Structure 1
């Protein structure tokens, strides 16, 4: 019996320890690179890391026989044994890189965009710079991780920009107003917009901290500004699309400037866009949202119609005149006196449809379009240049028509360089500047009398043109999709906003077109309602939610059949529509799957599960874009 006593004492001691000990472990998202392994995983914390790991910490963990980065999303306690869990390998810095509120937002985004969380985290959290963390780690660790306000009611507003005043100045005024209530996140389409806002901020003598977050910053500076956004009080954060993921402390408002911009759409997995994502964050964190622009997108217009978003504009009247083209001439005869008069009073802005010289080459004799052997259309870079193929860039020397063998060329689809030539001949000895991508002017020279710009390239520092001439209005409006039609309206209103108070808008278009009355009254409602009616009839957004699935051509037919069967089986809404788009000799095929917008969550869940199952069965990968910018890009 003497030999039993030590055994009983050990057992009693073990039971006592298990009854009182608390074991701490973490749940993480792992950057595995595999879409079907997007769940949460649990790991033990070694003793040396227990004091430095917190929610939002970046760590290294063993995963699937390799070492992977992970993000801590939960710290949990248990009295049960956790010996079966793997151990964290290392901690990537003592500083947490996001907040609990943002982790909830990442989870919401992953569900909404049918994605894994880490693909979004890579968009939102900048690359680590250890030297930066050493400067501010202690401040962040002692600060609160929550950003939520207890507001009873928040605002969702669309502000329409007005003529005669800089849109960027309008945007900054709004941001400064919102700063009085708390930190403000200002999102802008591109770096040039950020530069413009930062210039205005420097002129305003703003006392609040202003943090810039965009790709133009050096890697270390961007990471430092990102971390500072967690702890800064009443700060203005200015950035591009990815700045949406900044974990801003005491966030009061998010401003999305020029909400219709194509730059707000991510063109690679997970294909998210700013407009929908901002509304998700506003809902999750209970913050105010402001959108700005000249003409609301159809999605925004639908929210305005439903009174989900308030529309704010001023009653303004502009002086407009129309000059229809009779024989395809660039400048109708009746427009010349008004342009000459405007040139005596100041600078005239011409808005043209496209850049380049000649975007199509025709035979002057038989009027057939010249094409390359590959099927691409020939273009001209100057009046004397040899034709170039728009697809393969092959230069065609000693050109002659392949139909009638004539060597006389006719330039169609004129670009800005051709407009420059023709306008220069029409108004000789007049200083002219052109603005077109990639050489977009921010300002113009004092002696300049004529500015020729393509859509979206109007110099934004000049607000007092004596006249704004909108050339080839009908060609502008011959858009292939409603998305581009919306953009044309935006560009027209944006160009018209630069006219002086006594200036006029000269439009080369028929007077009965609704665009003319909309510009005159500075009210785009007629134009937007037209697009909404057409989209309703065509079952397009905002009345449907659309997914574009890109796959190998060999998989396309089976995928389409699977979608059709899922509709019949009730796994997708019965109103769903499926289309297969196949191009000749295309490397990929696309399937367009649309459902009523009210059923979007069902579509997202279905596509996420489809992606997981294909990954598990090791089938070829597919690309899933939910509500992309266009269906054809």
Structure 2
């Protein structure tokens, strides 16, 4: 350590060194500022969509392009900008020579990446969807452009291998008289639009892969959207079988950020022109897009749960209109919206021959026989009548049997055995349920077991289960068919596939696994439960779930429905006429002024906020305001309805409402245009 008298001699040197360092830092800062002040000589203005959620700021903002960024700043790249005192992300949508801003433009802060991730087509689609659903472009672009992954961005995207000779067309298309003409138009570069009804038991992934291959062979790109990952995996295998490896990518949220961004870049760079995926794939920037395919458009998984809540069907139809592509909406069932497209002539009906349907499956309705009714008057309401056991027994000799039951769990609802009074918890009055064969009744709300339950109405201690889940169903079938494998597929344990050996597979709707060679028989239990929902689409949704289950049967198999044979949805299933059922539903909704013949929007939030929104809404004169109605604790909803022709005007009014509320910082409300359910 230095002596105290040496300290004064060191201090002046330290001060001089500090001053020199400060001067050097200041010179470097001035140099950077000077470089940033020099703007590009050609098109010095960049129009940027800033990632802000506020509706009144939903427009491009002009920024100066520094000369140092001139080469990298192009439409579609990511940048950092200074906005409201913060550094925010943005996407460049255009460059120009002049700006409407009268003052000095702030420069771009940083070029995040020179990778063009927003194509002009997707930017225009984002504008269309924001207008259609009364949302903001920023919200749409969060759905369209995945988060950046720098490591994946540095990797090259190798081109697809040369296309070899395609195998012969699968036999399934021969069941549709108009399919040959449709496929020929795809190969020749046409843009036909069709709503396709698949035959039960058809290998629909192979048929979709063939349509994609025909389009791809003609030099155009293909985009296929399906409800979930199981369908994506089946389509990937079908595409590899037809085209070979390396011609397609899959875009799903479950693949992880690096893999998803890598596959997105392969599409954006033009290295891959066939995309299959779930709803996020609807925004894939496919080059030279020639065909968009949507399978099972009635599935609610196609509806985006985040603002502005776009539906994949509407997204793809807007892309088809804007980019002039062919359209194929397919499924075993048919949605009312798809039926509306054929009714208005926007799309053709690609229907199968009736003879092909008769060969594919036989659908029957099970009920109690006269002999059983004579012995037991309550047999009419039997959950598993005698015919069901006979059909399952016969089918097990040929292969696996699928049993669809609508509820997950064991005994999901309990009631008094004598008076049918619902069983309630003595502590919180919640519903009682049984979780397993050895579990006592317990409350579904507070979890309190109640082994000594007694009916509050009649004092009886016996319980019955009016609603049984898949676990109890599997247990009953296991006892009825000893020695037979019983598998369950539901909840968090969903089977993708089962082999062709005899087995009973109990599954909830949407969780049905695919059998290797198809199911020998399909049984639909508790059909009354699906039909008992209170929703605009109750019957349509029930028929869709039944058709999807029956669609897994092998050619020549049988299906058995346990339900009311007089119900229109059950009759449509027995006749296998989902198209006719959708037409009748469409006609009825048109008479009742319901979608798709009209345009609906819901405004949901706190009562005061909803009342303010309705007051500020400048809706068309033809608009009807229904409500408000309570939909939850301190929350209500208003429905606004207009004729379909006034739909764009309603969307414009709702968009302006969002901007006014955002600018005034009013309490938030949730606006949904054409929601899936009410």
Tell me the TM-score normalised to structure 1 length.
0.87
Question: Which residue, 599, 603, 608 being the options, matches 2:650?
Answer: 603
Q: 1:135 to 1:436 in 2, by over 3 A?
A: closer
Instruction: Go from structure 1 to structure 2 and tell me whether the alpha carbon gap of 1:247 and 1:474 turns closer, same or farther (over 3 Å shift).
Output: same
1:218 pairs with 2:271:
no
After superposition, what is the alpha-carbon deviation per residue over 1:437-481, rounded to whole angstroms, capped at 9, x for unaligned?
322222225544222222222212444322222223333333322
Pair 1:580 & 2:622 matched: no
The partner residue of 1:551 within 605, 609, 628 is 605
Change (3 A) 1:400 1:512: closer
Q: Once the 2 structures are TM-superposed, how far is the Cα of residue 22 of structure 1 from its aligned partner?
A: 5.5
Task: Assess, with a 3 A threshold, how the Cα gap between structure 1 residues 497 and 51 changes in structure 2: closer, same or farther.
Answer: same
- What residue in structure 2 maps to residue 414 of structure 1? 468
- Tell me how far apart the structure 1 counterparts of residues 404 and 523 of structure 2 sit (CA, whole Å): 6
Name 1:343's counterpart in structure 2: 396
Q: Distance in 2 between matches of 1:394 and 1:539?
A: 47
Distance 2:424 2:591 in 1: 36
Separation (CA, whole Å) in 1 of partners of 2:299 and 2:108:
43
Q: Which of 121, 124, 144 is 1:124 aligned to?
A: 144
User: Which residue pairs with 1:176 in the alignment?
Assistant: 213
Aligned counterparts of 2:69 and 2:217: Cα–Cα separation in 1? 40
Q: CA deviation at 1:514?
A: 4.2
Quote the Cα distance in structure 2 between the aligned partners of 1:597 and 1:80: 37
Q: CA deviation at 1:347?
A: 2.4
Range moving further from structure 2, 463-472 or 606-615: 463-472
319-328 or 450-459, which deviates more: 319-328
Report deviation, 1:252.
Answer: 1.1
Q: Which residue is 2:543 aligned to?
A: 489
For the structure 1 residues 398 and 228, does the alpha-carbon distance in structure 2 shift closer, same or farther, using more than 3 Å as the test?
same
Which residue of 2 is the match for residue 155 of structure 1? 192
Q: Give me the whole-angstrom Cα distance separating, in 1, the residues matched to 2:661 and 2:340.
A: 36
Is residue 2:661 matched to residue 1:618? no
Aligned match of 2:133? 113
- Equivalent position to 1:369, from 422, 428, 444: 422
1:539 aligns to 2:581 (yes or no): no
Whole-angstrom CA distance in 1 between matches of 2:222 and 2:416: 57
- 1:27-63: per-residue Cα shift (whole Å, max 9, x none)? 1111123221111210101110001100011111111
Distance 1:476 1:248 in 2: 39
Change (3 A) 1:138 1:353: closer
Q: Distance in 1 between matches of 2:363 and 2:266?
A: 49
Instruction: Indicate the SS of the match to 1:62.
Output: strand
Q: Find the counterpart in structure 1 of residue 26 from structure 2.
A: none
Change (3 A) 1:466 1:411: same
Given the superposition, is the C-alpha separation of residues 404 and 121 from structure 1 closer, same or farther in structure 2, using an over 3 Å criterion? same
Partner of 1:590: 637
Where does residue 51 of structure 2 map in the other structure? 31
In structure 2, runs of 5+ residues without a counterpart are 1-40, 160-185, 369-378
Kept after mapping to 1: 8 A contact 2:398/2:502:
no
Does the 8 Å CA contact 2:400/2:515 hold for their aligned counterparts?
Answer: no
SS in 1 for 2:141: helix
Partners of 2:498 and 2:575 in 1: CA distance: 29
Q: CA shift at 1:562, angstroms?
A: 5.2
2-side partners of 1:377 and 1:173: how far apart?
Answer: 51
Structure 2 counterpart of 1:443: 497
Say if 1:235 and 1:583 are closer, same or farther in 2 by CA, change over 3 A: closer
Deviation at 1:419, TM superposition (A): 1.3
Query: In 2 relative to 1, CA 533–413 (structure 1 residues): closer, same or farther, beyond 3 Å?
Result: farther
Shift in alpha-carbon separation, 1:360–1:472, aligned structure 2, 3 A: same
- Are 2:259 and 1:259 aligned? no
In the alignment, the residues of structure 1 paired with residue 258 and residue 542 of structure 2 have an alpha-carbon distance, to the nearest angstrom, of 39
Q: Does 1:60 align with 2:80?
A: yes
**Which SS does the other structure have where 1:582 is aligned?**
strand
Instruction: Report the Cα distance in structure 2 between the residues aligned to 1:404 and 1:497, rounded to whole angstroms.
Output: 46
Say whether the 8 Å CA contact 1:26–1:44 is kept in structure 2: yes
After TM superposition, the structure 1 = structure 2 runs for residues 177-196 of structure 1, keeping only pairs within 5 Å, are 177-181=214-218, 182-196=220-234
In structure 1, what is the Cα distance between the partners aligned to 2:452 and 2:475? 24
Bigger-Rg structure (1/2): 2
Change (3 A) 1:310 1:134: same
Say yes or no: does 1:505 pair with 2:559.
yes
Given the alignment, which residue of 293, 314, 323 partners 2:366?
Answer: 323
CA distance in structure 2 between the aligned counterparts of 1:541 and 1:160, rounded to whole angstroms:
22
Distance 1:301 1:374, change over 3 A: farther
Q: 1:135-146 counterparts in 2 under 5 A?
A: 135-136=155-156
Q: TM-score, normalised by structure 2?
A: 0.82
CA distance in 2, matches of 1:398, 1:492: 39
Partner of 2:513: 459
Shift in Å at residue 230 of structure 1?
2.0
Q: Could you tell me how far 1:520 is from its partner in structure 2? A: 4.7
Cα distance in 2 for partners of 1:227, 1:516 equals 47
Q: Residues 336 and 189 of structure 1: is their aligned pair in 2 closer, same or farther, counting only changes over 3 Å?
A: closer
Q: Deviations over 1:475-516 (max 9, x none)?
A: 333332242322221222222223233332222234444445
Residues in 2 aligned to 1:438 and 1:324: alpha-carbon distance in whole angstroms: 33
Query: Would the alpha carbon gap of residues 423 and 561 (structure 1) be closer, same or farther in structure 2, given more than 3 Å must change?
Result: same
Q: Which residue of 2 aligns with 1:209?
A: 247
Q: Which residue of 2 aligns with 1:378?
A: 432
Q: State whether residues 359 and 415 of structure 1, in contact with CA within 8 Å, keep that contact through their aligned partners in structure 2.
A: yes
Q: Which runs of 5+ in 1 are unaligned?
A: 1-20, 140-148
Alpha-carbon deviation of 1:202? 3.9
Distance in 2, matches of 1:79 and 1:254, equals 38
1:416 offset after TM fit, Å? 1.2
2 CA distance for matches of 1:397 and 1:160? 51
